[in-house]
Amino acid sequence: MNTEPKLASSPAHEAPAPVTVIRPTRGLTSVDLDALWRYRELLFFLVWRDIKVRYKQTALGVAWVVLQPLASMALFTLLFGVLLDAPSGEMPYPIFAYAGLLPWSYFSAALSRSSSSVVNSANLITKVYFPRLIIPLSAVLSSLLDLAVSGLVFGVLMVLYRVPVTSRILLLPALVLLALVTALGFGLWLSALNVRYRDVNYLVPFAVQIWMYLTPVVYASTLIPERYRILLSLNPMTGVVEGFRWALLGSAAASTTLSAPLVAVSIVLAMAVLLSGLVYFRATERTFADIV
Amino acid sequence: MSDVAITVENLGKSYRIGAGPRHDTLRDAVAARLRRRRDRGSRTIDDRSPGGLSPSAQSSGSETFWALRDVSFEVKSGEVMGVIGRNGAGKSTLLKILSRITEPTTGQAVIRGRVGSLLEVGTGFHPELTGRENIYLNGAILGMHRSEIDRRFDEIVAFSEIERFLDTPVKRYSSGMYVRLAFAVAAHLDPEVLIVDEVLAVGDAAFQKKCLGKMGDVAGEGRTVLFVSHNMAAVQNLCGWCLLLREGVAVAQGNTAEVISQYMDDGRARAGRSLGSIAPRVSAGRLRLTTLDLLDGDGNDVSSFVCGDSVSLVMGFIAKGAISCSSAVFSLAFYDQFGRSLFLCRSDFTGRDYTHLPAHGSVACTVPKLPLPAGRYFVNLYCEVNGRVEYWVESARAIDVEQGDYYGSGRLPAPERGDLLVPHEWSEPISAPEDLAHA
């Protein structure tokens, strides 16, 4: 159902009757933050549903959240740490890799889920009104749970490897936010494009895989020759991954490529993708119900 | 409270169909762009454009189809307004616009008050979640607050009659339980303006009755309701005012009884034998049903049937060429004036498997003893070839049935005593053995 704008905000009947005007819109429309706020409970329920349903009818349940990054860590340790002997600073390779996989797994899950989110919600979009932004937003939010669980596993690893906790860890939320903004920005573009072009479904898994190797997740950025490092900063996920290592493992594990100006470039780029994504999403959402 | 709750002015919605703007894969989009560059100005009409729509093709190769055109009306606060019309008349489009699911192309609508719209029951139900969880999820999707759902939770559960299964995932529910739960949530939504599609066409008869009763309550509470339905009996019961749509245009509005009778006249006007002017619901292109003739038991053309007579309905068709297939099926579905399905005659039910059809011909369906009491009925015609629907036309023709001596008893069964007649016999009275009679 489609509730009218004021549905959420008028707690009882005494509020003045809201008026909805329905007419064709053209050109750019602003992001209706008001409407998003009114529908916050729906956002909450969609996130809750995603989480609740994700591991239903699996024998291992939430254990999958832990097993996936651990298995990747083992695989990459074997490949890069043992066979290729990739440098990992002063840190043992497994914890070095896990610190990179932690934000990367979140990012790749959030991006994949958000890009297919609108198409997967076709049944809602064609039957009920609500701000469509809630759909990709709930996808990037519900992926945070996995990040939290695998973060706990990381805590255990830190104890095992006797890595001291420093005050740098306080910067983690900002880094998670940067990963979220990047995932949401690309997710908005891709989910809206996916409504019209189902090619997106085939493109995303493939692109995410390539992207991972372009990001210093399982290798140190010091492997990249000096003059190409500027290219790394064009990838906001470089800042996130390097930042995670810096915050969790100390500078010993982080490469020298991490610097304030580079992080600033990452932030600016991530914001640019988010804003353009919002514009594109808002411009196309009015036809979602007709063509999805 | 005589103020206006819904004002609709010149509302219109057009869709472009055909090759123009729709490219479902990037490859199509790129190819189309290249093609346009190559043969700029030459006309390309996509073969996807469905038949039955007037091809007002523009040079770009797309055509515009108006699902709704220049519709204006007002609903006063507290009024219950019905929207009726055949399939494809624009009813659903109107509801989707008023529900803000899709945008109009022209015109505007103004709605005063909290709006709730129900285009489907159980929107967003997740099969893996339990009944309890789905009540909250569905409630939130319908725009209810958590506190509101908490408050009405017990009522919802009681209405749905599924208490015992509240903590079972709904994928284990029977379809009846599922629908009951879904309707129960929807029924407890209380906006000031309610927009309802034919959600009542669900569930068993008893539950439908309960739903209609609930709808009546809602209407009686002074809320404004816009109700779209094929069920004329429900519209008649619930709505004081009615809007009739035909091919996207509002052709009548006013008192429900008058508008319904005009809608029925629409059907009467089509009582000719040719189906040419009726837009089919599906037309896949290979075969068209073109005529429907009514024959009495002696093979004479008739314009109405007599209850209990042997009657034949002859469907004429034209195909793109003779058809050889593994199976072709024809069917005739009978409906009463209220849109209720009465019975279905399908060639494959009777073991008839058509494997060859001429390019131009007909098939006849004979009902040896017509089981319909006197009244007006409608038939849907349908044909499929190898499991694929080829042609489907709804309310192809109105059929009048006159009173007749169905049971050969010299008495005429009264039409109001049931919807169908079935052959049956009664025994002589049989005396019970003495000892049992006193037991």
- Asked if A53 lies within 8 A of B128 by C-beta distance, the reply is yes
Model confidence band, residue B204 (pLDDT cutoffs 50, 70, 90)? low
* Predicted pLDDT at B109: 94
> Residue A212 and residue A178: Cα distance in Å, rounded?
16
Most confident listed range (B123-127, B158-162, B367-371): B367-371
Q: What 3 state SS string does B339-373 have?
A: CCEEEEEECCCCCCCEEEECCEEEEEEEECCCCCC
Residue A4 has pLDDT above 70, yes or no: no
On chain A, the residues whose CB falls within 8 A of the CB of B192 are 17
What's CA A256's distance to the chain center, in Å?
A: 25
Alpha helices by DSSP H, listed for B256-370, are 256-269
Q: How many C-beta neighbours within 10 Å does residue B42 have?
A: 10
- Asked if A25 lies within 8 A of B103 by C-beta distance, the reply is yes
- Chain A: nearest CA to B152, how far in angstroms? 15
A201 in contact with chain B, both atoms CB, cutoff 8 A: no
- Chain B: nearest CA to A237, how far in angstroms? 27
Searching chain B, which residue's CA lies closest to the CA of residue A134?
A: B141
CA nearest neighbour of B287 among B332, B334, B329: B329
- Asked if B24 lies within 8 A of A198 by C-beta distance, the reply is yes
Pick from A186-190, A252-256, B105-109: least confident: A252-256
Please tell me the number of Cα atoms within 13 Å of A127 on its side-chain side. Answer: 20
Which has more pLDDT, B118 or A143? A143
For the question of whether the overall pTM of this predicted structure is more than 0.90, the answer is no
Strands B282-283 and B388-402: antiparallel
A49 in contact with chain B, both atoms CB, cutoff 8 A: yes
Q: Give tens-digit pLDDT for B421-433.
A: 998 989 988 888 7
A7 in contact with chain B, both atoms CB, cutoff 8 A: yes
Instruction: Name the B residues in 199-258 with CB < 8 Å from any A CB.
Output: none
With b meaning 16 or more CB within 10 Å and e meaning fewer, what string describes B24-40? Answer: eeeeebeebeeeeeeee
- Give CA separation, B66 vs A175, B15, B17, B246, B276, in Å: 50, 6, 10, 12, 21
* Predicted pLDDT at A2: 39
CA nearest neighbour of B315 among B346, B353, B350: B346
Pick from B174-188, B349-363, B378-392: least confident: B174-188
Q: Give tens-digit pLDDT for A59-84.
A: 777 788 788 878 888 888 888 878 88
Residue B251 has pLDDT above 50, yes or no: yes
- Asked if A1 lies within 8 A of B191 by C-beta distance, the reply is yes
Model confidence band, residue B236 (pLDDT cutoffs 50, 70, 90)? confident
Model confidence band, residue B215 (pLDDT cutoffs 50, 70, 90)? confident
Helix (H, G, I), strand (E, B) or coil at B376: strand
Residue B380 has pLDDT above 60, yes or no: yes
Residue A54 has pLDDT above 60, yes or no: yes
Q: Give tens-digit pLDDT for B20-75.
A: 444 556 666 666 666 655 544 444 333 333 333 333 333 445 578 888 999 999 99
- Asked if A23 lies within 8 A of B24 by C-beta distance, the reply is no
Going by C-beta distance under 8 Å and a sequence separation of 6 or more, which residues neighbour residue A183? A106, A107, A110, A111, A114, A140, A143
% of chain B with per-residue pLDDT over 70? 82
For residue B245, the one-letter residue type is L
* Predicted pLDDT at A66: 80
* Predicted pLDDT at B46: 38
Instruction: Name the A residues in 88-127 with CB < 8 Å from any B CB.
Output: 123-127
**Contact between residue A163 and residue A211 where contact means Cβ atoms under 8 Å apart:** no
What's CA B91's distance to the chain center, in Å?
A: 11
> Residue A131 and residue A33: Cα distance in Å, rounded?
9
- Chain B: nearest CA to A285, how far in angstroms? 9
A16 in contact with chain B, both atoms CB, cutoff 8 A: no
Helix (H, G, I), strand (E, B) or coil at A79: helix
> Residue A201 and residue A197: Cα distance in Å, rounded?
9
Model confidence band, residue A7 (pLDDT cutoffs 50, 70, 90)? very low
Which has more pLDDT, B25 or B114? B114
Order of strands across the sheet that contains B4-18? A19-22, B106-112, B4-18, B62-76
Taken in order B287, B291, B297, B300, the sign of the CA dihedral is negative
Domains annotated for chain B, with CATH where assigned, are: 4-68 (no CATH), 75-267 (3.40.50.300), 282-402 (2.70.50.60)
- Asked if B111 lies within 8 A of A42 by C-beta distance, the reply is no
Which has more pLDDT, B222 or A237? A237
B136 in contact with chain A, both atoms CB, cutoff 8 A: yes
* Predicted pLDDT at B188: 85
What tokens appear for B46 in the block? 């996509």
CA nearest neighbour of A127 among B196, B67, B184: B196
> Residue A144 and residue A22: Cα distance in Å, rounded?
36
* Predicted pLDDT at A179: 94
> Residue A242 and residue A222: Cα distance in Å, rounded?
11
- Asked if B128 lies within 8 A of A42 by C-beta distance, the reply is no
- Asked if B143 lies within 8 A of A197 by C-beta distance, the reply is no
**What is the rounded average pLDDT of the residues A229-250?**
84
Helix (H) or strand (E) run with residue A196 in it:
helix A172-196
On chain A, the residues whose CB falls within 8 A of the CB of B129 are 49, 52-53
> Residue A72 and residue A212: Cα distance in Å, rounded?
12
What's CA B372's distance to the chain center, in Å?
A: 22
| Mean model confidence pLDDT for chain A | 84
- Length of chain B, in residues: 439
* Predicted pLDDT at A17: 67
What's CA B184's distance to the chain center, in Å?
A: 22
Which of B22, B133, B142, B199 is best to mutate for the A interface (most A CBs within 10 A)? B142
- Asked if B116 lies within 8 A of A1 by C-beta distance, the reply is yes
Which of A1, A9, A134 is best to mutate for the B interface (most B CBs within 10 A)? A1
| Mean model confidence pLDDT for chain B | 81
Q: Give tens-digit pLDDT for B154-173.
A: 999 998 888 999 999 999 99
Q: How many C-beta neighbours within 10 Å does residue A252 have?
A: 13
